[in-house]
A and B are shown apart, each in its own frame.
Chain A
Amino acid sequence: MASTEIARQAGEGARAVPLSGHVGFDSMPDQLVNKSVNHGFCFNILCVGETGMGKSTLMDTLFNTKFEGEPTQHNQPGVTLKSNTYELQESNVRLKLTVVNTVGFGDQINKEDSYKSIVEFIDAQFEAYLQEELKIKRTLHSYHDTRIHACLYFIAPTGHSLKSLDLVTMKKLDSKVNIIPIIAKSDAISKSELAKFKIKITSELVSNGVQIYQFPTDDESVAEINSSMNSHLPFAVVGSTEEVKLGNKMVKARQYPWGTVQVENENHCDFVKLREMLIRVNMEDLREQTHTRHYELYRRCKLEEMGFKDTDPDSKPFSLQETYEAKRNEFMGELQKKEEEMRQMFVQRVKEKEAELKEAEKELHEKFDRLKKLHQDEKKKLEEKKKSLDDELNMFKQKKTAAELLQNQAQQAGGSSTLKRDKERKNLGSL
């Protein structure tokens, strides 16, 4: 028996020992299966394709039931994604199936951004899972996984080649989801055209580097069927929920005037192959690929974006604690730096304003000092004027007093005042 992954992992550390009897651990797969069955399964399909490609009909046909939905009009302004979840049961297996439809895909005049809503939706599911996985108290065991496990891409049955919208969209999606391209409404193509169409599509995909989902060939029990199916990609399908009587059976078919296309007839279309591959053989592998490849890629990119690394510059692996602590320290440092910067800015402003005000104050004082000086000068002048007036006043007073005295004397001296008068005259003269 081929070596298992566990054996490979064990490597040198383990030695193989023979058993001398039946121990019983060969029931492990059954134990695991029982637990899975009890827990229930979940599967999420995304259908991408232009309006009117028969996406809803195909889903109904695949799952033998009528899912929700009115057929959509062609007048959607943008691409939106509508998702519906259903609980299905088959024997003892419970399946939580989510079908996501792209509404309005390909209807706009400018389709440049059509793929964006799809990519965003897929990323949002990854993000939700990542957030749950990173929580401190998490409940992964009971988490409803909404990540898209398979993307059925509906190609229009033009018979020529892929549209550029198809190439662009698939290129954007191939690293995020398992893409299974199918030719829709393939009852519009004849057999010979179909073969050419398939070859053209495959070569266009290859030349544009689009990675579509390959059915796994590493497990021998299914390797053969998977590899043969791989060569029939893309599947040309026809969907129908209407039944037509054929012989004594009712079969799902589409009735035309020129004949009846039987959905489950492998000569008419590849519906059976699709169902076989998608549901009966590889459903679990699709889920596994989504988790181990697409989700891990998303997670890795997201964490690297946030600055997480696995090893420090010396190539020593970080422990989780170190990583978080380093991140946290960096983060706190950043915050502190911002705070410091703001404080500094304020200190600067305060300083500047203070200097401004001081200047103003100085000017004010200078102005008033000048005025004061002027005032002093004025006062001095006034004083001088006052003084000179006083002097004049004094002089005048003296003069007056002297003159009065003289007059009095003159009057006192009366008639014989010749002598006096002479004297006075002399005195006066001498004055």
Chain B
Amino acid sequence: MGQQKNLEGYVGFASLPNQVYRKSVKRGFEFTLMVVGESGLGKSTLINSLFLTDLYSAEYPGPSHRIKKTVQVEQSKVLVKEGGVQLLLTIVDTPGFGDAVDNSNCWQPIIDHIDSKFEDYLNSESRVNRRQMPDSRIHCCLYFIAPSGHGLKPLDIEFMKRLHEKVNVIPLIAKADTLTPEECQQFKKQIMREIQEHKIKIYEFPETDDEEENRLVKKIKDKLPLAVVGSNTIIEVNGKRVRGRQYPWGVAEVENSDHCDFTILRDMLIRTHMQDLKDVTNNVHYENYRSRKLAAVTYNGVDNNRAKGQLSTKSPLAQMEEERREHVAKMEKMEMEMEQVFEMKVKEKVQKLKDSEAELQRRHEQMKKNLEAQHKDLEEKRRMFEEERANWEAQQRLEQQKLEATRTLEKNKKKAWYQKPYQSLSSP
């Protein structure tokens, strides 16, 4: 990403590793180790041998000394110091695992415990006020396989399949001093075959750029799963005081690499890969847990993220922001639609009203016209009648006059006629 620049002199940031070293020592280290296996496989003894201490002693008895009915998950915390480096070591025991007659779901309390540690870390990481975040997540799980010499038991397979994606699983062959080297070889091959067959992902050693380291890593890979022997007792062998198990036929030395793979386990677990185990837990297992948890919270289990695959990389807050924007857009659209519908309906109604008004107006006009026509008719009729009557009356008057005239004439004639006789009589 950046430009390569050559330095023309000593600057001094090569001291950064020292600064980091200094700070890490000051801070101190922590590591959480879980041991799982049936009772009697020598788990406590192995822990004591690994850390050269009596983690489990008479005062603090190991799990096998306690009889359990169901699988428990128990923690022991110890603070150990060596060479100026302080380590807070937490050992998580699972007494009762695989000891019952019916062992279905005996892994569930273990899974729950691992998840609850992830949950604690997630919660403290997500607080608003974050302080020191204690890391109690399980960094490594040592799984003890009984040295049957044949293969993995169904319980072994089931357990590893369920836990390989939650924690770094390192399978170990316990009490390896009951197997001869050849038997051990066979057993290991068989186990690795079965592990591959069931696609179990056990802890893988990381590749490095260093040739030397890669060679070492290859050597370890060839010996997986490691066959270990543990011991609480120190025995004198050839003038040396060693940890071992005394048999009539000899001493099985814990730290002798010809006898067992204990030293490989110790070196790998503690001296070279402790930090890597923590990093894989943090960067892979924890992140898987977290993304699954947050995806569930964001979508409330709805399968929205199937269609929009890329949204799963957003934070829940960004998700809410997106939803807010979507909602605003949706509201705007809804508002527009409602507005449209409203306008349309109003227009309709107004139109109807107008039509109705026009209709009524038309009818009214028609009626008025009708009435006017009738009026006119009537007027006409009256006029005609008046005219006729006037004519007739005029005619009648004329007739009457004529009649009067005739009658008067007649009357006069008659009068004259009547008078005449009277005249004739009276005249001599």
A residues apposed to B, CB below 8 Å: 1, 4-7, 9-10, 13-38, 41, 43, 62-65, 67-68, 84-93, 95-98, 131, 134-138, 141, 144, 218-219, 221-222, 275-276, 279-285, 288, 296, 299-300, 303-304, 306, 308-310, 317, 319-321, 323-325, 327-328, 331, 335, 338-339, 342, 346, 349-350, 353, 357, 360-361, 364, 368, 371-372, 375, 378-379, 382, 385-386, 389, 392-393, 396, 400, 403, 407, 410, 418, 421
Contacts and interface: CB of A to CB of B under 8 A. Distances in A.
B81 to A, nearest CB: 7
A84 B4 CA distance: 12
B421 to A, nearest CB: 16
A138 B6 CA distance: 33
Nearest to B9: A64
A407 to B, nearest CB: 7
B428 interface: no
B422 interface: no
B205 interface: no
B58 interface: no
B338 A346 contact: yes
A135 B367 CA distance: 81
By secondary structure, the A interface counts as helix
A87 B3 contact: yes
B99 interface: no
Interface range on chain B (Cβ under 8 Å from partner)? 35 or more
18 contacts: A4-B27, A5-B27, A10-B88, A28-B87, A64-B8, A85-B1, A86-B2, A87-B4, A135-B313, A144-B1, A276-B12, A284-B19, A284-B22, A296-B130, A320-B297, A338-B331, A368-B364, A382-B378
Contacts, number: 337
A36 B20 contact: yes
Contacts of A14: 77-79, 88
B320 interface: yes
Interface stretch (B103-111, B140-148, B274-282): B274-282
B83 A321 contact: no
Contacts of B80: 16-17, 19, 23, 25
A144 B28 CA distance: 26
A34 B212 CA distance: 15
A296 B128 CA distance: 9
Interface in B124-148: 126-130, 132, 134
Contact of A9 (B88, B283, B315): B88
Contacts of B19: 281-285
Interface in B1-27: 1-17, 19-27
A26 B84 contact: yes
Contact of A15 (B51, B78, B126): B78
Given A136-B291, A342-B334, A306 B317 contact: yes
